[in-house]
Amino acid sequence: MAESAAPLLATLKAIVGEANVLTSDADVAPYVTDWRGRYRGSARAVVRPSTTADVAAVVRCCAEHGAPVVPQGGNTGLCGGATPREDSGDVVVSLSRLTRVRALDAGNATLTVEAGMPLARVQQAADDAGLLFPLSLAAEGSCTIGGNLATNAGGTAVLRYGNARELVLGLEVVLADGRIWDGLKGLRKDNTGYDIKQLFLGSEGTLGIITAAVLKLFPKPRTSATALAALADVDAAIALLGLLREALGDRLTGFELISGECIALTRKQFPALPDPLPGYPWYALAQADDPAADSPLAVQLEAALAAAVEQHVAGDAAIAQSAAQAAELWALREHIPEAQRLEGAIIKHDISLPVSHIPAFLADAQVALGSALRGVRYVVFGHLGDGNLHYNLAAPPGTPAAAFLGEAARANRIVYDSVARLGGSFSAEHGIGQMKRSELLRYKSAVEVELMQRIKRALDPDALLNPGKVV
């Protein structure tokens, strides 16, 4: 491979500079393993362009040499979507050097940024302008906006602001042949045919490489209120969601469902975290925000929760009295993924359902899984406001990790079949990557799969963009 790769590598070095074409095992290693350590591949090279023109030249060069391209942002994905294949000659194109703010238009409430900018820096750029970019998720310090858009990330504020695709007005994309599509428009109305940008949002780099985006900004909240409510069951959580929506309207930004098992697991691994309402099987973490500095939001949230307790919807509630207390309540939710990692063997599912069908799913799945995997522990949490559950299964105490993880295929089939019966999705916000390709073929209709494959062939006829992912 060394001889055949030489002309390709020489051209890539001429484009981006020798220091930005990584080929040694040590230099390449961080780019060929996914964040969870589940997927490991290899790469002919890792290339780090710093401009869209360089990305285009790199892709054009790879196309001329028939070299597959794997776009990569912060490499924080959970489905192996940014991991190259093994022994395939893939070239990883890291966008980590595309980190510029190209434009801030406060009057139009838009921010134009390059794809390699970490999400936290995008949030900060908006905040510095007195505005808000609302996409928020646990990996925001290391994930990049390009990866967020390529996977249509969700996060904790979907209830109010929508998924990543709903926060984008325009895109710049490098196509499979190296051409650049400049769709960086800041228009909220543009009824001129197909909305091309939507093809690339959520496509995981299989149709083109997002290099920049025009993002929607919003008024910055000046009043916030956060509360944890203790609940008897998920039906009560849905009822509470309805009460809070009625009381607070679209100021309700997030509504997270957390099982008592999650709280126990998280506090086992992080005992310094608070335990304000011990002993309940379910909890809801709610946050509301208002751009008005003198908003009575906290009083309204407290009144709504008091009514919920009086109506026996909630058993109890704790309302944060300061920003520090609010952060502590959110820490209970945000530490769940790390607590799971420390606990050991976990079979994870990122699913979505109509909110009204979630109790039926939980009941059906628990019966089937309880029979198939005796003693399994249910570590369930998620964004109840938009129907997204992280339905995770922990090994029974004393069960070897390998033995439990060996049951993943059987557990997945039980979970995904139940989700499908109730009109849900086997992937809510983590994407498909390489992990869920077979599930896509199983649960999508033949017509839908054919349409996706046609789009792929039309935009990437030689199948060089992120092969082995999605379709």
Cα-trace Rg, the chain: 23
Domains 2-94 and 223-337 share a fold: no
The dihedrals phi and psi of 198, each to the nearest 5 degrees, come to: -65, -20
Dist CA 65 CA 45 (whole Å): 14
Are the C-beta atoms of residues 115 and 210 closer than 8 Å to each other? yes
Provide, for the chain, the percentages of residues in helix, strand and coil under a 3-state DSSP scheme, each rounded to the nearest 5. Answer: 40, 20, 40
pLDDT tens, residue order, the chain (471 aa)? 444 678 999 999 999 999 999 999 999 999 999 988 889 999 999 999 999 999 999 999 999 999 999 999 999 998 999 999 999 999 999 999 999 999 999 999 999 999 999 999 999 999 999 999 999 998 899 999 999 999 999 999 999 999 999 999 999 999 999 999 999 999 999 999 999 999 999 999 999 999 999 999 999 999 999 999 999 999 999 999 999 999 999 999 999 999 999 999 999 999 999 999 999 999 999 999 999 999 999 999 999 999 999 999 999 999 999 999 999 999 999 999 899 989 888 999 999 999 999 999 999 999 999 999 999 999 999 999 999 999 999 999 899 999 999 999 999 999 999 999 999 999 999 999 999 999 999 999 999 999 999 999 999 999 999 999 999
Beta bridge partners of 226: 287
Range 406-410 contact pairs with CB under 8 angstroms and sequence separation of 24 or more: 407/347, 407/372, 407/373, 408/347, 410/372, 410/373
pTM tops 0.85, yes or no: yes
What confidence score (pLDDT) does residue 138 get? 84
How far are the Cα atoms of 111, 163, 353, 356, 455 from residue 424, in angstroms, in the given order? Answer: 33, 17, 4, 11, 24
Segments making up each domain of the chain, as ranges = 2-94, 101-219, 223-337, 344-430
In this structure, the strands spanning 316-319 and 282-290 are unpaired
Dist CA 146 CA 294 (whole Å): 36
- CA 184 to chain CA centroid, Å, is 23
The dihedrals phi and psi of 415, each to the nearest 5 degrees, come to: -65, -50
Is CATH 3.30.465.10 correct for 101-219? yes
**Residue 433: closest CA among 187, 158, 16, 152:** 152
3-state secondary structure of 285: strand
The CATH architecture one would assign to domain 223-337 is 2-Layer Sandwich (3.30)
Beta bridge partners of 33: 40
Q: How many residues make up the chain in this entry?
A: 471
**Residue 206: closest CA among 81, 331, 300, 120:** 81
Dist CA 285 CA 125 (whole Å): 27
In eight-state DSSP terms, residue 166 is G
How far are the Cα atoms of 42, 93, 333 from residue 20, in angstroms, in the given order? Answer: 17, 10, 38
What confidence score (pLDDT) does residue 448 get? 97
**Which CATH fold would you assign to the domain 2-94?**
3.30.43
**Residue 350: closest CA among 310, 385, 314, 392:** 392
Residue type, 356: S
**Residue 96: closest CA among 31, 163, 10:** 31
Q: Which two tokens stand for residue 252?
A: 């309700």
For the chain, count helices (H), then strands (E): 17, 19
Dist CA 83 CA 120 (whole Å): 23
The dihedrals phi and psi of 464, each to the nearest 5 degrees, come to: -100, -15
What confidence score (pLDDT) does residue 1 get? 42
Class of domain 344-430: alpha beta
- CA 180 to chain CA centroid, Å, is 26
